[in-house]
Structure 1
Amino acid sequence: MRKVLFVLLFITGLLEAKVYDGVAVVVKNEAITLEDIKKEMSVSKVDAKKATDALIRQKLEAAEIKDRKITVSSSEVYDDIKNLASRNNMSISDFYDAVRESSGMSSTQFKEKIKQKLLSQKLYSAIAYSSIEEPSQEEIEEYYKLHQKEYMHPSSFTVVIYDAKSKALLQEKVDNPMFYSPEIATNEQVLPYDKISPELASLLAQTPKHGFTPIVPNGKGGFMSFYIKSITSAEEGGIESVKNQIINEIMAEKREVVLSDYFARLRDNADINVIRMPE
């Protein structure tokens, strides 16, 4: 009997060791593994402490969402994806293909990611939006003066758009501009900065003159790349042209201060057990 009891205790000990072997932190009975931390370090390019702090906050947010009974419907997820696709001039099907091409996520995985984003947004609204006020004109002007260089941008781009069904064929053109194929269509256009989507404006602004942008889906089942032929001289639109953007950025900063304070207090009072950290 003693031998049986000893064996059972030994097996139980092994099982418990196996369960906790990979666990680094336990947050309100929810585990964060060493693998989780290493993955966050790799994805976010941060050290172990910052990665762990980020994961702890994610666990605390998930607990708050559950405690507050915050939910997101499938129609809300669909509407958000529909808006994202529309902003990129794509059908939802083509947008899913673009996400799969760029990140490797399936449509199911992407829907789950959008759901988590919307849950977090609702939580943030419940915590922060009632605690912050819109910035005054004085705050807006001060913020603009401090960040004025960030609001300098080209007024337009002259581009040649290369379009093809085959990504490999288009990549060959990008790698060798002298390459010609009748299967690659070209179209030269002047794109005013304030008339294109923020995503495209950012993509073009980050590409040097006489360079190609990364290849992106064209929204029609194919691919395209923009060759920057010329860029007009930078111009400053003035504070009124970026006022809404400034308000959004100030509100985002204020919101993050409120949220950081809230979750710092939550963390101080939460049951968090740090077992080990990656070496």
Structure 2
Amino acid sequence: MRKFLLVLLFAGFLEAKVYDGVAIVVKNEAITLEDIKNEMKASHIDVKSATDILIRQKLEDAEIEERGITVSSSEVYDDITQMASRNNMTISDFYDAIREANGLSSTQLKEKIKQKLLSQKLYSAIAYASMDEPSDEEIHEYFKLHQDDYKHPASFTVVIYDAKSKELLQEKVDNPMFYSPEIATNEQVLPYERISPELATLLSKTELHGFTPVIPNGKGGYMSFYLKSIESAKEGGIESVRNQIVNAIMADKREVVLSDYFARLRDNAEINIIRMPE
């Protein structure tokens, strides 16, 4: 009788575990129904795509642990410092910008950066050993197929609006006729080749005679760029973008190697699908 009760209790415990929300177990690591739903919501994807992403993450985590790959706090800080510098921000302003844009605290951001760096080290360990630099023929063929990707404006003429108050500057963006002596202006010509990739992307996505979103200015205040004019687009030729093409080809090769590697890993891994979100 006692053994029978123990069996019932154990069965009830397992049932409770399933009820608690475990959907998939990958190499003894659980993925919950909530994990899947959160990924679907965050990435705007269906159940299968979200599940594939989460299984891949668990396989990566297991590989990182098995290979003994680590990332130090100084590596995380260096990466954040570089991102802040590329955006012309102090570390404090960068944390504020991330918090406003994504709702992430500095602790959460550091954890995401750590995971990113761990993945990069893993990818390097898996892929780069089996990849060769592209040949001149590959570079020319890639350029021929993607020429439009390497066309860009020569420069942007902008009026930079600067203010201590974000709300005041936002009012200017919403109503261009609004005037305040607390908003400073500065007209500049920004050559494409001399600005950060992030700013180039921001300006490229901004409508002519329109404002960029209000962003931190790196000095404790805020700024917005009014796009006054764009100098005609140019194509610098293959030599001007050779390094970008090499990076793009290597990225494509790396993705093929990694996809094949993790597909084989998934085929051989112990994956138990218990249930999926309805």
Structure-2-length-normalised TM-score: 0.95
Matched, 1:181 2:204: no
Aligned to 1:229, the other structure's residue is in SS state strand
Q: Identify the residue that residue 274 of structure 1 maps to in structure 2.
A: 273
C-alpha deviations, 1:42-70, integer Å up to 9, x for none?
22222111111011000000000000111
Aligned to 1:178, the other structure's residue is in SS state coil
Query: What is the percent sequence identity of the aligned residues?
Result: 75
Between 1:75-84 and 1:197-206, the stretch displaced more is: 75-84
Look up the equivalent residue of 1:223 and give its one-letter code: Y
The structural deviation recorded for 1:179 is 1.1
Look up the equivalent residue of 2:116 and give its one-letter code: K
Aligned to 1:227, the other structure's residue is in SS state strand
Q: Identify the residue that residue 33 of structure 1 maps to in structure 2.
A: 32
Structure-2 change in CA distance of 1:167 and 1:5 (3 Å): farther
Matched, 1:124 2:123: yes
Distance 1:168 1:38 in 2: 35
Distance 1:13 1:168 in 2: 59
Gaps of 5+ in 1: none
Matched, 1:76 2:75: yes
Distance 2:275 2:185 in 1: 56
Distance 2:189 2:26 in 1: 53
Look up the equivalent residue of 2:201 and give its one-letter code: S
Look up the equivalent residue of 1:16 and give its one-letter code: L
Aligned to 1:128, the other structure's residue is in SS state helix
The structural deviation recorded for 1:14 is 4.2
Distance 1:38 1:223 in 2: 36
Between 1:68-77 and 1:14-23, the stretch displaced more is: 14-23
Matched, 1:170 2:169: yes
Distance 1:18 1:98 in 2: 42
Q: Identify the residue that residue 14 of structure 2 maps to in structure 1.
A: 16
Distance 1:99 1:221 in 2: 15
C-alpha deviations, 1:59-84, integer Å up to 9, x for none?
00000000011111111111111111
Aligned to 1:225, the other structure's residue is in SS state strand
Gaps of 5+ in 2: none
RMSD of Structure 2 on Structure 1 (CA): 1.6
Distance 2:16 2:75 in 1: 40
Structure-2 change in CA distance of 1:228 and 1:275 (3 Å): same
Look up the equivalent residue of 2:18 and give its one-letter code: Y
Matched, 1:229 2:225: no
Alignment of 1:1-279 (within 5 A): 6=5, 12-21=10-19, 22-279=21-278
Look up the equivalent residue of 1:18 and give its one-letter code: A
Distance 1:246 1:61 in 2: 28
Number of residue pairs matched by the alignment? 277
Aligned to 1:110, the other structure's residue is in SS state helix
C-alpha deviations, 1:96-122, integer Å up to 9, x for none?
222222111111111111111111111
The structural deviation recorded for 1:16 is 2.8
Distance 1:130 1:49 in 2: 31
Distance 1:10 1:104 in 2: 45
C-alpha deviations, 1:1-21, integer Å up to 9, x for none?
76x964x66555444333222
Look up the equivalent residue of 1:23 and give its one-letter code: V
C-alpha deviations, 1:141-179, integer Å up to 9, x for none?
111111111111110111111111221211111111111
